[in-house]
Structure 1
């Protein structure tokens, strides 16, 4: 075995015989040899002793600025002969200086107003508009602020700001536009005060004249003044009692129609002709409500702050006017029995009225504007009502005690509609926040929240007579439909288009049998769709003139084809 280790083997081929060869390496190849270009003696001097603090030779500038390791960094301040300046702002290099925030604010405001400021690195020098420096003597705006005596003298020469509740005439609000006694004369101190003074509110309050409480002006937003307005009523009918001593609350029996039958038990048709016009309101109509179930009376409200009861049958005359609001009425709602009704107004008051004799039974307010009011239709809770307010809340009042018993506060903008569903155990609300929320009655936490990217604010609502759907007037010129059951999903198959409603709160109404959907229009039309197909059947001009929007619309609960409309022209029209 030992002899085999040192043997040289030939090729396996027996045909060729090659001579034995042995390779030996004479030199080693180095790919990157170390080349010393410096003077060895100088390098030895540079190295020196590691703990030495003295130089034993004259070092050149290149030696003093050479990096400790690697190439020269061109951006370091001491990184070589041609060290570059790194930009720290888009326009160059900003010099860092340590100054207080107050000094910086003063110089910044001075530069904005006068065009110059002090150079932070050279406090005696200025940067910016040097002509302005010479004109103002280099003063900043703090130094130019006038004294308290000068400021008081200037204020005495100025007109009073006026009362914010007065728009025109004597004592009207002027605010920052109040002039000085002599506008032709230019006060340097006045300009300094107007442009640069940052007086605290506390100082201004101390220097203003104090008025006694009795002479203080009433705030423009003070709604408590409106509560003092006395409610009144006036009967306009031909006779208040019939031969049996009954008032207009009695359901007439001498008609060719049974007003006591169940609404929706007969087939409905679309109206085509005008049969009655009622004129008494002086401003646009804001709501129209038929008497519950029978429809023999019509309740109307308008922007003139009055509510009126009309006779639908017999003489078709104005029966009673209810006065008590100082501003426009926003909504009305009958109690399920019809004996009382609610009015909500922009004077921030909600009032409960007796339908028969016109007495105001009670008042309710939260200090905010109510947009919609709804009695609970359930007999157990019919003494309670909900109100959607301008401050994003839905409030629940008890008419027996007059107290606020519940508050639903989840919307992000003013509430527009309240609709009871699911046998009055739940209700749906919509708001200007472009969302829909469903609630359990009495529980202030929503059980469903719907807010899609393509949704618009829904301003009016009407439940379908079947109780399965709710139709909403959407702000994109269409009527959308949502289920009134557990999931509250939108029914994408049912969309009603062909009318214009953008910018208005236009009512919706279903025919009692649920076959037709009707809506007003901003162009003065009344539009009628087939509920099943979504096709528009009919559209006629219901406004008095072109462009007079029809905003209120209500289908008679017992008649087959009678609809009442009202709008901006202030006239109520009855169609058959």
Structure 2
């Protein structure tokens, strides 16, 4: 009797025939047996709804492939999962309980995750006095200084700063972006990885005036509108928020469910802004209606910089795909595409005051220059080297007269080069940690603000 062991007469000694079974079929069978070990016909379990991809948190939020099976309920979790003695405490807010018999989750004990919707935006005035003797707020440009902050700038010549004037401290984590108040520069806005935005006085007491909190994760970028009355902020919590500079009120919120990396308000049409996203798109929003107006979708990696040029009729973008693209504002097809084998991804940008060039911080430790007129070609003669940016994305800034270009450095230096000759003029040891933000004052001859990885701001002259 072939195939049986003759000794015992009942042990099969045949072989198992190999067969192909796809992983999903195997898993389905495995689940059926796990859920129903007695072999009774298993009931196919239904998943919860996937949710809306546009909603990040709260009811109807996007779950996608992570949606639970309907029988799996957190309250039916077994004792083994949490241990017999451990209590799982769920915290609700009191007023929520009074209003709703079935309250929404706010924060799960043992985790640091909050519902982003539940946070709410707050702003606090922390200066010494909100109004002066004439009832004007800090938005009023001061006239009692030895420098004129309004009107025509004239032909002021810039110089390299030498000494430290003031140190501003409030943020607890890295500074991500700095912005002087447009034109006058009498206020300074700072964004930080501690999720806070702060407004500082540049003259008089040089104090912290107002804080804006409402983001739940690191703020990556901020940008003023041309009048300075409002600014937009972008954060890793996937929200972009429009704030009133004076009152601190959050006017509008925008999200596509993806992380914004850069936001720029169009100086030509200040009620619209562009956002470069982690999903390779550039989104154009209208701040009045809150609607998405246009989508530019040609990059192959997360978008890092957006720079307006040609009197705000065009803009240039760079991305992790190591390319540069130029666009007509409002038309979602690039007019120029540059991707060379020697190019690195360009992480920060600054337009030259002449309007003819854009300086870009390249990841291979140099600043490169592209023309921002019709040709959008690289200016091969202009390359600024001698600083180290690897692993960080230090900002680039050009002096208002276009004579100097400056950048942060991972060694804590702020570096200055001559725009024409590309020679490094000067290096200041501004911090003992990497220096990531730098901006020139729009009106002063030699004043520069720097921000480092520890959240310290320093004002130089």
Q: TM-score range by the shorter chain?
A: 0.7 to 0.9
CA distance in 2, matches of 1:401, 1:554: 32
Separation in 2, partners of 1:135, 1:278: 83
- Match 2:270 to one of 365, 369, 382: 382
Structure 2 unaligned spans of 5+:
4-10, 39-64, 78-104
Alignment of 1:65-84 (within 5 A): none
Match of 1:270 in 2: 160
1-structure distance, mates of 2:278, 2:385: 29
| Cα deviation, residue 440, structure 1 | 0.4
> Residue 264 of structure 1 contacts residue 514 of structure 1 at CA under 8 Å; is this kept in 2?
no
* Residue number among 444, 448, 451 corresponding to 1:563 in the alignment: 448
* 2:242 maps to 1:352: yes
Displacement of 1:503 after TM fit? Answer: 1.5
Instruction: Tell me if 1:230 matches 2:107.
Output: no
- Cα offsets for 1:429-480 (capped at 9, x unmatched): 0000000000000000000000001000000000000000000000100000
CA distance in 2, matches of 1:326, 1:235: 20
Superposition CA RMSD, Å:
3.0
Whole-Å Cα distance in 2 between the matches of residues 239 and 571 of structure 1? 24
Report the counterpart of residue 139 of structure 1 in structure 2. 16
Count of residue pairs the alignment pairs up: 388
1:507 to 361, 376, 395: 395
Instruction: Say yes or no: does 1:470 pair with 2:366.
Output: no
Relative to the length of structure 1, the TM-score reads 0.64
> Equivalent residue for 1:426?
314
Q: Name 2:49's counterpart in structure 1.
A: none
Q: Partner of 1:368 in structure 2? A: 258
Q: Greater strand percent: which structure?
A: 2
Residues 98-137 of structure 1 aligned to structure 2 (within 5 Å)? none
User: Can you list the C-alpha shifts for 1:285-343, whole angstroms capped at 9, x where unaligned?
Assistant: 11100000000000001011110000000000000000100000000000000000000
Higher relative contact order (CA closer than 8 Å, sequence separation 6+): 2
Q: Post-superposition shift, 1:141?
A: 6.1
Using the TM superposition, give the Cα deviation of residue 361 of structure 1 relative to its aligned residue in structure 2, in angstroms.
0.5
Choose 1 or 2 for highest CA Rg: 1
SS at match of 1:287: strand
Whole-Å separation in 2 of the counterparts to 1:319 and 1:535 = 39
Alpha-carbon distance in 1 for matches of 2:441, 2:298: 35
Deviation at 1:506, TM superposition (A): 1.0
Equivalences for 1:412-561 in 2 at 5 Å? 412-543=300-431, 545=432, 548-561=433-446
The structure richer in helix per residue is: 1
Q: 1:272 to 1:211 in 2, by over 3 A?
A: same
1:256 matched to 2:146? The reply is yes
Q: How does 1:36-51 map to 2 (within 5 A)?
A: none
Change (3 A) 1:443 1:315: same
For 2:306 and 2:76, how far apart are their aligned partners in 1?
Answer: 43
| Partner SS for 1:228 | helix
Q: Which residue of 1 aligns with 2:209?
A: 319
Aligned-residue offset at 1:265: 2.4
Q: Secondary structure at the match of 1:227?
A: helix
Structure 1 distance, partners of 2:297, 2:75, is 37
Residue 516 of structure 1 and its aligned partner are, at CA, apart by: 0.3
User: Deviation per CA, 1:238-283, whole angstroms, max 9, x where unpaired?
Assistant: 0000000000000000000001143462011000111100110111
Q: Which runs of 5+ in 1 are unaligned?
A: 1-122, 125-133, 156-201
Q: CA separation in 2, counterparts of 1:317 and 1:468?
A: 37
Distance 2:319 2:296 in 1: 13
Cα distance between partner residues in 2 of 1:507 and 1:476: 14
Asked whether the equivalents of residues 263 and 512 of structure 1 are also in contact (C-alpha less than 8 Å), the reply is: no
Alpha-carbon distance between aligned partners in 1 of 2:215 and 2:205, rounded to the nearest angstrom: 28
After superposition, the C-alpha distances for 1:498-524 in whole angstroms (9 at most, x for unaligned) are 000111111000111000000000111
Quote the Cα distance in structure 1 between the aligned partners of 2:410 and 2:30.
60
